[in-house]
């Protein structure tokens, strides 16, 4: 248990020898509570039990390293793909992009841009992939978008999904992280029998 000078107290789930606080979160919390804990602990990360919303969180297309040279001209978007017919059905997001060199840096909502298919640069994406993925989250727990500390979704197994902002336009992505690598980076020893 840790006490602040104003009497506020919190019980950290894990405090590493390197000074990192790790909070394991199973339930919803208010933005105010999230902010309070982040302010209190300072250097921390969230590990969110995502098994409760696993059916609504879909990991989609891989994305390239946002710092890859060719990315200076690319802006990714997500469009809703629809199945034609009497009643149009949304069948999921489709990754597409436009080129800044063709459209200007910040086209407005009414501006026409030439939209390109993900398939057009798939080889470049695959060659520069370092773990980022597009994702779709139906009925998201939006409090996690407000976190300043790193947020990792745990869907079970040896992988965590790190919630990140991919580009300067605010596109959200998740990045694949091995649990063992995260534990080792923070000075621990990974034990799958205990962790799973």
Question: Does 119 lie in the same domain as 68?
Answer: yes
Please check whether residue 8 lies inside any domain of the structure: yes
Domain assignment present for 174: yes
Indicate the pLDDT class of residue 90, thresholds 50, 70 and 90. very low
Domain-ending residue, one of 75, 95, 127: 127
The C-alpha atoms of residue 64 and residue 133 are separated, in whole angstroms, by 8
99: domain range?
64-127
CA distances from 110 to 78, 94, 107, 141 (A): 17, 21, 8, 30
Three-state SS for 124? helix
Do 70 and 47 share a structural domain?
Answer: no
Could you read off the pLDDT of 62-82 as tens digits, one per residue? 999 999 999 999 988 766 544
Residues 49 and 71 in one domain: no
Tens-digit pLDDT profile for residues 36-52: 999 999 999 999 999 99
Tell me, yes or no, whether 190 and 162 share the same domain: yes
Distance CA 154, CA 150 (A): 13
CA dist 79 and 92 (Å) reads: 8
In a domain, 23, yes or no: yes
Is 189 within the bounds of a domain? yes
- Answer yes or no: do 141 and 48 share one domain: yes
Inform me whether the pLDDT recorded for 18 exceeds 90: no
Query: Do 121 and 76 fall into the same domain?
Result: yes
Answer whether 0.85 is exceeded by the pTM.
Answer: no
Do 123 and 142 belong together in one domain? Answer: no
Do 68 and 116 have their domain in common? yes
Closest CA to 46 of 77, 19, 22: 22
Q: Is residue 132 part of a domain?
A: no
Question: pLDDT tier at 110 (50, 70, 90 boundaries)?
Answer: low
Placement of tokens 């370092």 in the chain: 130
Is position 79 within any domain? Answer: yes
**Whole-angstrom distance between the N-terminal and C-terminal Cα of the chain?**
26
Instruction: Name the nearest CA neighbour of 101 among 73, 76, 139.
Output: 73
- Domains contained in the chain, number: 2
- Domain identity same for 50 and 10: yes
């Amino acid at each position: 248990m840790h006490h602040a000078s104003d009497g506020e107290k919190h019980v950290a789930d894990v405090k590493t020898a390197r000074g990192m606080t790790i909070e394991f979160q199973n339930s919803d919390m208010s933005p105010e509570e999230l902010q309070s804990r982040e302010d209190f602990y300072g250097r921390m990360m969230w590990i969110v039990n995502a098994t409760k919303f696993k059916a609504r969180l879909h990991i989609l297309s891989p994305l390239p390293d946002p710092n890859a040279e060719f990315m200076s001209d690319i802006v990714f978007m997500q469009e809703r793909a629809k199945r034609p017919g009497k009643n149009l059905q949304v069948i999921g997001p489709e990754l597409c992009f436009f080129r800044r060199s063709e459209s200007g840096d910040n086209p407005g909502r009414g501006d026409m841009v030439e939209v390109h298919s993900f398939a057009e640069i798939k080889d470049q994406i695959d060659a520069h992939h370092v773990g980022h993925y597009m994702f779709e989250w139906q009925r998201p727990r939006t409090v996690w978008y407000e976190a300043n500390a790193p947020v990792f979704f745990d869907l079970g197994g040896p992988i965590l999904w790190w919630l990140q902002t991919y580009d300067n336009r605010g596109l959200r992505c998740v990045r694949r992280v091995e649990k063992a690598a995260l534990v080792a980076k923070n000075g621990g020893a990974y034990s799958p029998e205990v962790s799973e």
